[in-house]
Amino acid sequence: MRVWCVRFEGCGKESFFQGGFTLSCAPAGSLLLAMQQIPDPRGRQGRRHVCSATLAAVVCALLCGARGYTGIAQWIHALDLEWRHALGFLRTPPKLGAIRKLLMKLPVEAFEDALQGWVEQLLPGNVDDAALRAVAMDGKSLRGALNGFDRAIHLLSLLDQATGYTLRQGEVDGKTNEHKTALELLKSLVLEGKVITGDAMFCQRDLCRQIVDDDGHYLFEVKDNQPELKAAIEAEFEPAFSPLH
**Share of residues in the chain with pLDDT > 70 (%):** 77
Distance CA 83, CA 73 (A): 15
Q: Does residue 100 register a pLDDT over 60?
A: yes
What's the CA gap between 133 and 57, in Å, rounded?
A: 30
Nearest to 214 by CA among 178, 190, 197: 190
pLDDT at position 123 is 66
Average pLDDT over residues 144-164: 73
pLDDT at 242 over 60: no
Question: 63-102: string of b/e by CB count within 10 Å (b at 16+)?
Answer: bbebeebeebbebbeebeeebbebbbbeeebbebebbbeb
Distances (CA, A) of 191 to 109, 168, 196: 22, 12, 8
- What's the whole-model pTM score? 0.59
What is the C-alpha separation between 25 and 226, in angstroms, rounded? 47
Query: pLDDT class for 180, splitting at 50, 70, 90?
Result: confident
- Nearest-Å Rg of the Cα atoms of the chain is 22
- Which of 6-10, 134-138, 166-170 has the highest mean predicted lDDT (pLDDT)? 134-138
Cross-strand pairs, 3? 18
Mention every residue, 6+ apart, whose C-beta is less than 8 A from residue 206. 183
Q: How many Å apart are CA 207 and CA 192, to the nearest integer?
A: 15
Q: Please name each of the domains of the chain with its CATH number.
A: 3-120 (no CATH), 133-241 (3.30.420.10)
* CA atoms of 147 and 151, how far apart (whole Å): 6
Answer whether 64's CB lies under 8 Å from 76's CB: no
